[in-house]
């Protein structure tokens, strides 16, 4: 029996959700929170790089730092790659013992 396409898509989506949260060791609640914070970080980091007014760039930086700290305080967030954050460079040493987050002003 073939499943209708929309049901197949929904089933596929539901099947991948647990794997996503388990791959980083995050609970569903923590994953949802880090996703929200990642969106905020992505917007703020874009403003830091691209806003035309220096005071807006500095203001975005002042909001970016505590938001990033909040995201990194979530248990197991160390392994979360922040894929939507394009304006911040995340560097790891060979042994992955720490991360460095850098951006330009």
Distance CA 56, CA 61 (A): 9
Phi-psi region of 46 (alpha: psi -120 to 50; beta: other; left: phi over 0): alpha
Which residues in the chain belong to E strands, given as ranges? 89-91, 100-102
Distance CA 47, CA 29 (A): 28
pLDDT value of position 62: 97
What is the tens place of the pLDDT at every residue in 37-77?
999 999 999 999 999 999 999 999 999 999 999 999 999 99
Give the angle subtended at the CA of 76 by the CAs of 87 and 69, to the nearest 5°.
45
Annotated domain spans of the chain:
5-102
pLDDT-derived band of residue 81, with 50, 70 and 90 as boundaries?
very high
pLDDT value of position 24: 77
pLDDT value of position 32: 95
């Amino acid at each position: 029996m073939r499943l209708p396409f929309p049901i197949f898509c929904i089933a596929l989506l539901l099947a991948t959700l647990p794997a996503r949260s388990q791959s980083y060791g995050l609970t569903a609640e923590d994953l949802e929170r880090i996703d929200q914070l990642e969106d905020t970080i992505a917007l703020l980091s874009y403003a830091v790089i691209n806003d035309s007014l220096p005071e807006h760039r500095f203001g975005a930086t002042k909001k970016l730092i505590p938001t990033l700290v909040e995201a990194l305080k979530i248990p197991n967030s160390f392994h979360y790659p922040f894929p939507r954050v394009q304006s911040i460079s995340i560097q790891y040493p060979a042994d992955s013992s720490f991360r460095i987050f850098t951006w330009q002003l």
